[in-house]
Protein backbone atom coordinates (compact mmCIF):
# COMPACT_ATOMS: atom_id res chain seq x y z
CA UNK A 1 0.00 0.00 0.00
CA UNK A 2 1.20 3.51 -0.81
CA UNK A 3 2.11 5.50 2.29
CA UNK A 4 3.69 8.91 2.68
CA UNK A 5 7.22 7.79 3.53
CA UNK A 6 7.48 5.37 0.61
CA UNK A 7 5.94 7.85 -1.82
CA UNK A 8 8.41 10.49 -0.67
CA UNK A 9 11.39 8.13 -1.01
CA UNK A 10 10.55 6.91 -4.52
CA UNK A 11 11.97 8.88 -7.49
CA UNK A 12 9.39 11.12 -9.12
CA UNK A 13 9.07 13.33 -12.20
CA UNK A 14 7.29 16.69 -12.33
CA UNK A 15 6.42 18.48 -15.58
CA UNK A 16 3.94 21.16 -14.50
CA UNK A 17 5.41 23.39 -11.81
CA UNK A 18 5.20 27.19 -11.93
CA UNK A 19 8.22 28.94 -10.45
CA UNK A 20 6.35 31.94 -9.05
CA UNK A 21 3.66 29.78 -7.44
CA UNK A 22 6.12 27.34 -5.88
CA UNK A 23 8.58 29.48 -3.93
CA UNK A 24 8.77 28.31 -0.30
CA UNK A 25 7.04 30.61 2.20
CA UNK A 26 10.34 31.04 4.08
CA UNK A 27 11.93 32.30 0.87
CA UNK A 28 9.03 34.68 0.22
CA UNK A 29 9.47 36.06 3.74
CA UNK A 30 13.18 36.54 3.12
CA UNK A 31 12.48 38.38 -0.15
CA UNK A 32 9.74 40.51 1.43
CA UNK A 33 12.12 41.66 4.18
CA UNK A 34 14.76 42.38 1.57
CA UNK A 35 12.30 44.52 -0.44
CA UNK A 36 10.79 46.18 2.66
CA UNK A 37 7.33 44.81 1.90
CA UNK A 38 4.90 43.94 4.73
CA UNK A 39 5.12 40.30 5.78
CA UNK A 40 1.41 40.08 6.63
CA UNK A 41 0.60 40.36 2.92
CA UNK A 42 2.19 36.95 2.36
CA UNK A 43 -0.84 35.26 3.92
CA UNK A 44 -2.55 35.93 0.59
CA UNK A 45 0.19 34.04 -1.27
CA UNK A 46 -1.64 30.87 -0.24
CA UNK A 47 -4.98 30.53 -2.04
CA UNK A 48 -8.16 29.47 -0.19
CA UNK A 49 -8.60 25.70 -0.03
CA UNK A 50 -11.74 26.15 -2.12
CA UNK A 51 -11.81 29.14 -4.46
CA UNK A 52 -14.82 30.43 -6.30
CA UNK A 53 -12.97 29.92 -9.58
CA UNK A 54 -9.56 30.11 -11.27
CA UNK A 55 -9.64 33.91 -11.14
CA UNK A 56 -9.72 33.94 -7.33
CA UNK A 57 -6.93 31.36 -7.23
CA UNK A 58 -4.72 33.52 -9.45
CA UNK A 59 -5.06 36.51 -7.11
CA UNK A 60 -2.31 34.98 -4.96
CA UNK A 61 0.21 35.88 -7.65
CA UNK A 62 -0.52 39.59 -7.14
CA UNK A 63 1.30 39.22 -3.81
CA UNK A 64 4.17 37.09 -5.12
CA UNK A 65 5.16 38.78 -8.38
CA UNK A 66 6.37 42.10 -6.85
CA UNK A 67 9.03 40.04 -5.04
CA UNK A 68 10.41 38.64 -8.31
CA UNK A 69 11.50 41.76 -10.15
CA UNK A 70 15.29 41.56 -9.70
CA UNK A 71 17.92 39.17 -10.99
CA UNK A 72 19.07 38.30 -7.48
CA UNK A 73 15.55 37.46 -6.28
CA UNK A 74 14.83 35.32 -9.34
CA UNK A 75 18.04 33.36 -8.76
CA UNK A 76 17.19 32.85 -5.09
CA UNK A 77 13.68 31.66 -5.99
CA UNK A 78 14.94 29.14 -8.55
CA UNK A 79 17.64 27.80 -6.21
CA UNK A 80 15.21 27.35 -3.33
CA UNK A 81 12.66 25.57 -5.54
CA UNK A 82 15.28 23.00 -6.60
CA UNK A 83 16.32 22.52 -2.97
CA UNK A 84 12.67 22.02 -2.01
CA UNK A 85 11.94 19.36 -4.64
CA UNK A 86 15.17 17.51 -3.89
CA UNK A 87 13.80 16.75 -0.41
CA UNK A 88 11.10 14.52 -1.88
CA UNK A 89 13.31 12.81 -4.48
CA UNK A 90 12.10 14.55 -7.60
CA UNK A 91 14.87 13.55 -9.96
CA UNK A 92 13.65 15.50 -12.99
CA UNK A 93 11.56 18.67 -13.15
CA UNK A 94 10.48 21.08 -15.85
CA UNK A 95 10.01 24.50 -14.27
CA UNK A 96 7.82 26.94 -16.15
CA UNK A 97 7.60 30.68 -15.78
CA UNK A 98 6.54 33.76 -17.76
CA UNK A 99 9.44 36.21 -18.24
CA UNK A 100 7.11 39.04 -19.27
CA UNK A 101 5.69 39.08 -15.72
CA UNK A 102 9.11 40.00 -14.31
CA UNK A 103 9.77 43.26 -16.15
CA UNK A 104 8.42 45.82 -13.65
CA UNK A 105 12.00 47.08 -13.18
CA UNK A 106 12.81 46.93 -16.90
CA UNK A 107 14.85 43.73 -16.86
CA UNK A 108 15.39 42.28 -20.33
CA UNK A 109 14.18 38.81 -21.31
CA UNK A 110 17.81 37.68 -21.38
CA UNK A 111 18.52 39.01 -17.88
CA UNK A 112 15.40 37.35 -16.46
CA UNK A 113 16.05 33.93 -17.99
CA UNK A 114 19.77 34.04 -17.14
CA UNK A 115 18.95 34.87 -13.51
CA UNK A 116 16.58 31.90 -13.19
CA UNK A 117 19.11 29.59 -14.83
CA UNK A 118 21.87 30.84 -12.55
CA UNK A 119 19.80 29.73 -9.55
CA UNK A 120 19.03 26.37 -11.13
CA UNK A 121 22.65 25.68 -12.10
CA UNK A 122 23.92 26.61 -8.62
CA UNK A 123 21.33 24.30 -7.00
CA UNK A 124 22.15 21.40 -9.33
CA UNK A 125 25.74 21.46 -8.09
CA UNK A 126 24.43 20.58 -4.64
CA UNK A 127 21.19 18.65 -5.23
CA UNK A 128 20.58 15.62 -7.42
CA UNK A 129 17.82 17.16 -9.53
CA UNK A 130 17.89 17.47 -13.30
CA UNK A 131 15.93 20.60 -14.28
CA UNK A 132 14.88 22.17 -17.56
CA UNK A 133 12.92 25.32 -18.30
CA UNK A 134 9.60 25.87 -20.04
CA UNK A 135 8.90 29.45 -21.08
CA UNK A 136 5.30 30.53 -20.64
CA UNK A 137 3.62 33.21 -22.68
CA UNK A 138 0.44 34.77 -21.31
CA UNK A 139 -2.83 34.80 -23.20
CA UNK A 140 -3.62 38.36 -22.11
CA UNK A 141 -0.40 39.76 -23.57
CA UNK A 142 -0.38 41.16 -27.12
CA UNK A 143 0.75 39.12 -30.09
CA UNK A 144 3.71 41.47 -30.51
CA UNK A 145 4.79 40.95 -26.89
CA UNK A 146 4.68 37.18 -27.33
CA UNK A 147 6.41 37.33 -30.73
CA UNK A 148 9.22 39.37 -29.14
CA UNK A 149 9.42 36.85 -26.28
CA UNK A 150 9.77 33.90 -28.66
CA UNK A 151 12.35 35.72 -30.80
CA UNK A 152 14.31 36.57 -27.67
CA UNK A 153 14.32 32.93 -26.56
CA UNK A 154 15.47 31.79 -29.99
CA UNK A 155 18.34 34.28 -30.00
CA UNK A 156 19.49 33.15 -26.56
CA UNK A 157 19.84 29.57 -27.85
CA UNK A 158 19.98 27.98 -24.37
CA UNK A 159 19.85 24.16 -24.23
CA UNK A 160 17.99 24.13 -20.89
CA UNK A 161 15.00 25.91 -22.48
CA UNK A 162 13.22 22.86 -23.85
CA UNK A 163 9.62 23.94 -24.36
CA UNK A 164 6.98 26.61 -24.67
CA UNK A 165 3.65 27.08 -22.93
CA UNK A 166 0.70 29.43 -23.00
CA UNK A 167 -0.93 30.16 -19.64
CA UNK A 168 -3.79 32.44 -18.66
CA UNK A 169 -7.55 32.59 -19.06
CA UNK A 170 -8.50 30.27 -21.91
CA UNK A 171 -12.12 31.43 -21.74
CA UNK A 172 -11.15 35.04 -22.46
CA UNK A 173 -8.44 34.33 -25.07
CA UNK A 174 -9.03 31.24 -27.22
CA UNK A 175 -6.44 28.89 -28.70
CA UNK A 176 -7.23 30.28 -32.15
CA UNK A 177 -6.20 33.76 -30.98
CA UNK A 178 -2.72 32.54 -29.96
CA UNK A 179 -2.23 30.43 -33.09
CA UNK A 180 0.42 32.61 -34.77
CA UNK A 181 2.55 32.83 -31.62
CA UNK A 182 2.32 29.06 -31.17
CA UNK A 183 3.43 28.45 -34.75
CA UNK A 184 6.38 30.80 -34.29
CA UNK A 185 7.42 28.91 -31.14
CA UNK A 186 7.21 25.55 -32.91
CA UNK A 187 9.15 26.88 -35.91
CA UNK A 188 11.79 28.13 -33.46
CA UNK A 189 12.39 24.52 -32.40
CA UNK A 190 10.48 24.60 -29.11
CA UNK A 191 8.28 21.70 -28.05
CA UNK A 192 4.78 22.65 -27.03
CA UNK A 193 2.56 22.19 -23.99
CA UNK A 194 -0.54 24.34 -23.64
CA UNK A 195 -2.80 25.13 -20.70
CA UNK A 196 -6.17 23.95 -22.03
CA UNK A 197 -9.28 22.32 -20.63
CA UNK A 198 -8.51 23.63 -17.14
CA UNK A 199 -11.61 25.79 -16.91
CA UNK A 200 -12.85 25.57 -20.50
CA UNK A 201 -14.36 22.74 -22.50
CA UNK A 202 -13.03 19.57 -24.13
CA UNK A 203 -12.92 21.34 -27.51
CA UNK A 204 -10.17 23.61 -26.17
CA UNK A 205 -7.99 20.53 -25.67
CA UNK A 206 -8.65 19.28 -29.20
CA UNK A 207 -7.77 22.72 -30.59
CA UNK A 208 -4.53 22.76 -28.58
CA UNK A 209 -3.53 19.40 -30.07
CA UNK A 210 -4.33 20.67 -33.57
CA UNK A 211 -1.99 23.61 -32.89
CA UNK A 212 0.85 21.16 -32.16
CA UNK A 213 0.73 20.53 -28.42
CA UNK A 214 1.97 17.07 -27.42
CA UNK A 215 1.13 17.77 -23.78
CA UNK A 216 -1.82 19.53 -22.22
CA UNK A 217 -1.62 21.51 -18.99
CA UNK A 218 -4.52 20.15 -16.90
CA UNK A 219 -6.87 19.01 -19.71
CA UNK A 220 -9.41 17.66 -17.26
CA UNK A 221 -12.34 19.04 -19.27
CA UNK A 222 -12.11 16.00 -21.56
CA UNK A 223 -13.66 13.92 -18.74
CA UNK A 224 -17.08 14.86 -20.11
CA UNK A 225 -16.32 13.78 -23.67
CA UNK A 226 -15.59 10.18 -24.63
CA UNK A 227 -14.56 11.22 -28.20
CA UNK A 228 -12.07 13.73 -26.75
CA UNK A 229 -10.60 11.09 -24.43
CA UNK A 230 -10.31 8.72 -27.38
CA UNK A 231 -8.64 11.42 -29.47
CA UNK A 232 -6.05 12.07 -26.75
CA UNK A 233 -5.40 8.35 -26.33
CA UNK A 234 -5.07 7.78 -30.09
CA UNK A 235 -2.65 10.70 -30.48
CA UNK A 236 -0.47 9.79 -27.47
CA UNK A 237 -1.20 13.11 -25.75
CA UNK A 238 -0.02 13.51 -22.16
CA UNK A 239 -2.28 15.28 -19.67
CA UNK A 240 -0.36 17.16 -16.96
CA UNK A 241 -2.84 16.64 -14.12
CA UNK A 242 -2.68 18.88 -11.03
CA UNK A 243 -5.28 17.34 -8.68
CA UNK A 244 -5.23 19.67 -5.66
CA UNK A 245 -5.17 22.74 -7.88
CA UNK A 246 -8.06 21.43 -10.01
CA UNK A 247 -10.25 20.91 -6.96
CA UNK A 248 -9.12 24.19 -5.38
CA UNK A 249 -10.12 26.21 -8.48
CA UNK A 250 -13.46 24.38 -8.73
CA UNK A 251 -12.52 22.90 -12.08
CA UNK A 252 -13.43 19.63 -10.29
CA UNK A 253 -15.99 19.80 -7.49
CA UNK A 254 -14.48 17.24 -5.10
CA UNK A 255 -12.25 14.18 -4.86
CA UNK A 256 -15.14 11.83 -5.60
CA UNK A 257 -15.40 13.47 -9.03
CA UNK A 258 -11.66 13.43 -9.80
CA UNK A 259 -11.31 11.68 -13.20
CA UNK A 260 -7.97 9.87 -12.83
CA UNK A 261 -9.61 6.40 -12.87
CA UNK A 262 -11.75 7.42 -15.84
CA UNK A 263 -8.67 8.50 -17.77
CA UNK A 264 -6.73 5.34 -16.91
CA UNK A 265 -9.65 3.15 -17.97
CA UNK A 266 -9.89 4.98 -21.31
CA UNK A 267 -6.18 4.79 -22.11
CA UNK A 268 -5.52 8.52 -21.64
CA UNK A 269 -1.88 9.10 -20.67
CA UNK A 270 -1.50 11.22 -17.53
CA UNK A 271 1.20 12.42 -15.19
CA UNK A 272 0.84 14.03 -11.75
CA UNK A 273 2.03 17.51 -10.80
CA UNK A 274 1.71 20.20 -8.14
CA UNK A 275 1.01 23.22 -10.39
CA UNK A 276 1.84 25.74 -7.64
CA UNK A 277 3.36 24.22 -4.52
CA UNK A 278 3.01 27.26 -2.29
CA UNK A 279 -0.24 28.72 -3.62
CA UNK A 280 -1.84 25.26 -3.27
CA UNK A 281 0.13 24.24 -0.15
CA UNK A 282 1.10 20.90 -1.62
CA UNK A 283 4.00 18.69 -2.66
CA UNK A 284 4.20 15.94 -5.25
CA UNK A 285 4.29 13.45 -2.36
CA UNK A 286 1.01 14.92 -1.08
CA UNK A 287 -0.57 14.65 -4.54
CA UNK A 288 0.23 10.94 -4.81
CA UNK A 289 -0.90 10.31 -1.24
CA UNK A 290 -4.27 11.94 -1.98
CA UNK A 291 -4.63 9.87 -5.15
CA UNK A 292 -3.87 6.72 -3.16
CA UNK A 293 -6.58 7.67 -0.68
CA UNK A 294 -9.30 8.89 -3.04
CA UNK A 295 -8.52 7.05 -6.31
CA UNK A 296 -7.00 3.79 -4.94
CA UNK A 297 -3.69 4.44 -6.69
CA UNK A 298 -1.16 1.60 -6.27
CA UNK A 299 2.62 1.22 -6.76
CA UNK A 300 2.31 -0.10 -10.30
CA UNK A 301 0.09 2.81 -11.36
CA UNK A 302 2.34 5.35 -9.66
CA UNK A 303 5.30 3.93 -11.56
CA UNK A 304 3.37 4.14 -14.84
CA UNK A 305 2.36 7.76 -14.20
CA UNK A 306 6.03 8.62 -13.69
CA UNK A 307 7.07 6.68 -16.78
CA UNK A 308 4.40 8.58 -18.72
CA UNK A 309 6.03 11.78 -17.48
CA UNK A 310 9.47 10.63 -18.61
CA UNK A 311 8.24 9.60 -22.05
CA UNK A 312 6.39 12.90 -22.44
CA UNK A 313 9.06 15.19 -21.03
CA UNK A 314 11.14 17.44 -23.27
CA UNK A 315 14.54 16.18 -22.09
CA UNK A 316 17.17 14.61 -24.34
CA UNK A 317 16.81 10.89 -25.08
CA UNK A 318 19.84 9.90 -22.99
CA UNK A 319 18.33 11.67 -19.96
CA UNK A 320 15.03 9.87 -20.54
CA UNK A 321 16.76 6.47 -20.65
CA UNK A 322 18.54 7.18 -17.35
CA UNK A 323 15.28 8.23 -15.72
CA UNK A 324 13.40 5.17 -16.97
CA UNK A 325 16.09 2.89 -15.56
CA UNK A 326 16.04 4.70 -12.20
CA UNK A 327 12.26 4.54 -11.88
CA UNK A 328 11.90 0.88 -12.87
CA UNK A 329 14.71 -0.19 -10.58
CA UNK A 330 13.25 1.72 -7.60
CA UNK A 331 9.60 0.73 -8.03
CA UNK A 332 10.07 -2.93 -8.95
CA UNK A 333 10.81 -4.03 -5.38
CA UNK A 334 7.51 -2.54 -4.12
CA UNK A 335 5.48 -3.88 -7.04
CA UNK A 336 6.79 -7.40 -6.48
CA UNK A 337 6.06 -7.21 -2.75
CA UNK A 338 2.53 -5.90 -3.32
CA UNK A 339 1.88 -8.67 -5.85
CA UNK A 340 2.63 -11.23 -3.14
CA UNK A 341 0.10 -9.75 -0.69
Q: List the catalytic residues.
A: 198
Is the separation of the CB atoms in 221 and 208 below 8 Å? no
Question: 133 - beta bridge partners?
Answer: 95, 161
Question: Closest Cα to residue 37, out of 71, 79, 73?
Answer: 73
- Residue 286 CA to residue 292 CA, distance in Å, equals 10
Provide the residue count of the chain.
341
Q: Measured between alpha carbons, how far apart are the two ends of the chain, in Å?
A: 10
- Beta-carbon-side half-sphere exposure of residue 192 (alpha carbons within 13 Å): 23
- Residue 261 CA to residue 273 CA, distance in Å, equals 16
- Residue 102 CA to residue 303 CA, distance in Å, equals 36
DSSP letter assigned to residue 42? G
- Residue 142 CA to residue 148 CA, distance in Å, equals 10
What is the DSSP code string of 220-245?
A: GGGGG-HHHHHHHHHTTPEEEE-HHH
What is the DSSP code string of 150-170?
A: HHHHHHH--TTEEEEEEES-T
Look at strands 130-138 and 161-167 and give their pairing: parallel
Amino acid sequence: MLDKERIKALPKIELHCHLDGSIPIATLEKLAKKENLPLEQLQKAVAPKKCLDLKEYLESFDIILPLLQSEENLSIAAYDLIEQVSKENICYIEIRFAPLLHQQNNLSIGQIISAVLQGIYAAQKKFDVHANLLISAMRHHTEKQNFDLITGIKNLNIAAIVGFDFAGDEQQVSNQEIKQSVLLAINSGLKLTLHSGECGCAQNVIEAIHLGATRIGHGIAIKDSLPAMQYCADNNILLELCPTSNIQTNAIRNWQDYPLRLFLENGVKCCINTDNRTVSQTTLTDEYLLLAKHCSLNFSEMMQLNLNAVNGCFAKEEVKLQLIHKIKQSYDQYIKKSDLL
